[in-house]
Every structure is written in structure tokens, then in C-alpha cells.
Amino acid sequence: MSVQPSILALIPARSGSKRIQGKNIRPLQGHPLLAYTVAAAVESGIFARVLVSTESEETANIARHYGAEVPFLRPQAHAGDLSPDIEWVRDLLVRLRDAGQLCDCFSLLRPTSPFRQAATIRKAWTQFQAAPGVDSLRAVERCKQHPGKMWLVEGQVMKPLLPGGPVNPPWHSMAYQALPPVYVQNASLEIAWSRVPLEGNTIAGTVIAPFLTEGLEGFDLNEARDWWYAEQLVASGEAVLPSVRFPAYSAGQTPTPF
């Protein structure tokens, strides 16, 4: 009988967002945005631990209040606007390994996808385990803007971004429905073996399985208009946030025990 691999939830929540100030802890429907990803991760029931990576004491307190762990703060050197994920992921995994607490796998769950439910996480974990030989799994969705209709501008002329397609008619003159399916990654989730970032300079590796998100599972909050849209979706009943079992956090309070 095979033993199921163990997995950690890693939730990145640095404090330096520019497009939406403080977005990870900004209230949405009564709770900080971060709370909904923590709630979905805990409810999924697949994780040995749910960890939040942040350089902010305030964000760490909020994460703990909603049931996550913050065993240590992220180094400031790995919390800049341009800091790649591999830096903080490897740093965190190395610390866990050195403490004898490393799991076989990890999942990146970004707070900016608040409509990702526990069932979505469980489905992705099942698909990952059923894909032998892969380094990782990444959430993708069908492109709304097809690259077959994109161009490179060179001086006074344009050239198709994707050369090598049909000539008559070319992709840029075809209906969207007639174009070959193309997928774009979204930020809702990734799963990988812990060996991938520990042994290489990547969080994904080279053999990557697709996880096709549906509906609003891959919705990503990055700009002010996205926040407005998220509020409208919830208010209209078109989207449902994960259920949060803790009372709303208030600044300065002691994290709720769990």
C-alpha cells in the first residue's frame, strides 16, 4: 500500500503592495483578504500545516488569528517588489528542513484569489498525485485574449507574435472559436515537490501539469477595479467567499487560539 505524500500550504502575504495598498490585510466582506485563503486551506483538510510567509508583524498576527502559523518572519531581502518567489520559498523550506519539519510537497496559495474554495484545493491535490513524473502542477485558464491575434511592433510595421500558423486565413483573421486552445496561468494555486526549489532555481521545475480552473476559481485581485468587481460579485451572489469560522480581526488583539 502506497503512502500518501505530505503537503504544506504556503501563503505569501508581504506588506508592500503598490497597486492596492495593504491588499493582503484589507477588509473584504468583514475579514482581511488573507483570511479567506487561510480558511480554504484549513477546510481542505489536506495540509499538515498552513503557513503564512510575511515580513510584517501585523500581517503575522492576523494570519495567526485566522488559524495559520507564522513560524518566523520573511527576511526583508526577500520581500521587495521584485523579489522572485524562489527566494522566500527556498528560504522557508530550508528552515523547515533544518528543523526536521519539511513535508514532501508544498502548495502556493495566494490571498489574491479569494474565491478559490477548499474543494478546488482538494481537486488540484488529487490531480497532482495522479500525474506521476511531474515536478509541479499550476492553475491555468483559457486565454481571453488569444496570442494568435497579438503583434510585435517593429518601427512602422507589425509582425505576428506567433509565427508559423496557417497562411490562408492566418490566425489573426480567424474567429476566436476556430483558434487552437491556448491557456494562461493564473495565481490561484500551485503544487510542487519540495525537492524542486531545494535542488534548483525554480519553484515549478520543468515538467508541469495543468490544473484547469473554472468560473471564478482563478479570479485574481491586483488592481483597484478588481477589488470593486469582487465586492459586486459577492453582493450579487455571483461569487461566494470561503466560510471563515473566526470573528473579525481587530488591530492589537491577541491571536485566537486554535
**pLDDT tens for residues 168-196?**
999 999 998 999 999 999 999 999 999 99
Q: What is the pLDDT of residue 120?
A: 97
Distance CA 20, CA 149 (A): 30
- Least trusted range by pLDDT, from 36-40, 45-49, 254-258: 254-258
Instruction: Indicate the pLDDT class of residue 84, thresholds 50, 70 and 90.
Output: confident
The pTM of the full predicted model, rounded to 2 decimals, is 0.91
Q: What is the pLDDT of residue 1?
A: 54
Strand order in the sheet with 105-108: 49-53, 7-12, 105-108, 183-193, 136-142, 208-212
| Domains within the chain, CATH numbers bracketed | 7-140+184-236 (3.90.550.10), 144-181 (no CATH)
Directed axis angle between helix 57-65 and helix 33-44, to 10°?
40
Q: Does position 16 have pLDDT exceeding 70, yes or no?
A: no
Cα dihedral sign, 110-111-115-117: positive
Q: Is 252 left (phi over 0), alpha (psi -120 to 50) or beta?
A: left
Q: Does position 40 have pLDDT exceeding 70, yes or no?
A: yes
